[in-house]
Amino acid sequence: MSTDPTELLGVAKAAAAAGAAVLSARSSGSLADGTVSNKGEAGDWVTAFDVAAENAVRSAIRGARPQDTITGEEHGTTRPENPTGLRWSIDPLDGTTNFIRNIVYYATSVAVADADGVWLAGVVNAPALGRVYYAARGHGAWLEQDGRRVQLTGPVSGRAGQILATGFSYDPAVRAEQAAALGGFMEGFADVRRLGSAALDLCLVADGTHDAFGERGLNEHDFAAGALIAEEAGCWVRRPRLTSPLNGGPTDDERLAAWTCAGTLEMSGRFPL
């Protein structure tokens, strides 16, 4: 099957739209009893919508590309008998706590990588914002909103009042370390934002809303699509080197130690190694 990034992008857009449609089906009220559970860490929630959205995303990918491998937040990794070498990384609902609380920053994130781990296409579909961010490797990053299509070029270099976006771990010990380091981490920035969706934070660097994003401890599905979108918008991006799910990874220690960062090139030296 084709490995052309633009063709893969078409599949990614359809799959992300299928997941976002599930999220949009919820009424504006709070979730019904029995649809919310906790994954283990306080505040790390999963809803019936996470599961249903992932099922919809997987169905769309399998319908178009039945021999590709899929890694999802809720159902893990599924590998067909004769895999193509491409692997999809999906987060059906990035920003679950926001979704539960009716805060608009949540999205379905879908990305695909080749056998060497090179990300080829990615989509972040934010239904409550009416925004679809997307990129195919070598073809730039784009935003579709209100019937318009705009190419993304990242933050304005050197502007005053720069904003840093970040997030914090559910693990109390890691969160305490992050809080202690925040002052030094913010050096050179005027303010900080914590939206609760890493996928959207990366997209907001791509569209120039944030000047930079850095967060420790993300899973692959959190950053897969957003990091490619920021990169294709011309941003400096550093992804963590995590063991592939196909090789049993990543380990918790590996993930919690790793930073995902994006911004202008001049900011690359500000982020932790």
Find the CATH number of the domain harbouring 212: 3.40.190.80
Specify the pLDDT at position 244.
81
Given 152, 180, 212, which residue is the final one in a domain? 152
Q: Rounded to whole angstroms, how far apart are CA atoms 6 and 240?
A: 25
Structural domain includes residue 168? yes
Cβ neighbours around 42 below 10 Å, total? 10
Query: Which residue, 129, 152, 175, sits at the end of a domain?
Result: 152
Strand ranges (DSSP E) for 153-198? Answer: 163-165, 191-193
Radius of gyration of the chain (CA): 17
Q: Which is nearest to 264 in space by CA: 161, 118, 119, 162?
A: 162
158 belongs to a structural domain: no
pLDDT < 70 regions, the chain: 27-46, 273
Give Cα 13 distance to the centre of its chain: 14
Q: Are residues 148 and 81 in the same domain?
A: yes
Answer yes or no: are the C-beta atoms of 226 and 149 closer than 8 Å. Answer: no
What is the total count of domains within the chain? 2
120 with 249, same domain: the answer is no
- Give the pair of three-digit tokens for residue 218: 């993300």
Amino acid at 61: I
Query: How do residues 100-140 score in pLDDT, each as one tens digit?
Result: 999 999 999 999 999 999 999 999 999 999 999 999 999 99
Apex CA 77: angle with CA 43 and CA 237, to 5°? 70
Instruction: Supply the pLDDT for residue 29.
Output: 46
Domain residue limits at 146: 5-152
Same domain, 98 and 136: yes
pLDDT for 36 equals 53
Pull the structure tokens for residue 57. 């995303």
| Number of helices followed by number of strands (H, E) in the chain | 7, 15
Please identify, among 152, 173, 201, the residue that sits at the C-terminal boundary of a domain: 152
* pLDDT reported for residue 33: 37
User: In terms of domains, do 99 and 172 share one?
Assistant: no
Whether 129 is in a domain gets the answer yes
Is residue 127 domain-shared with residue 170, that is, in the same domain? no
Identify whether residues 115 and 200 lie together within a single domain. Answer: no
Query: Per residue in 229-243, pLDDT tens?
Result: 999 999 999 998 877
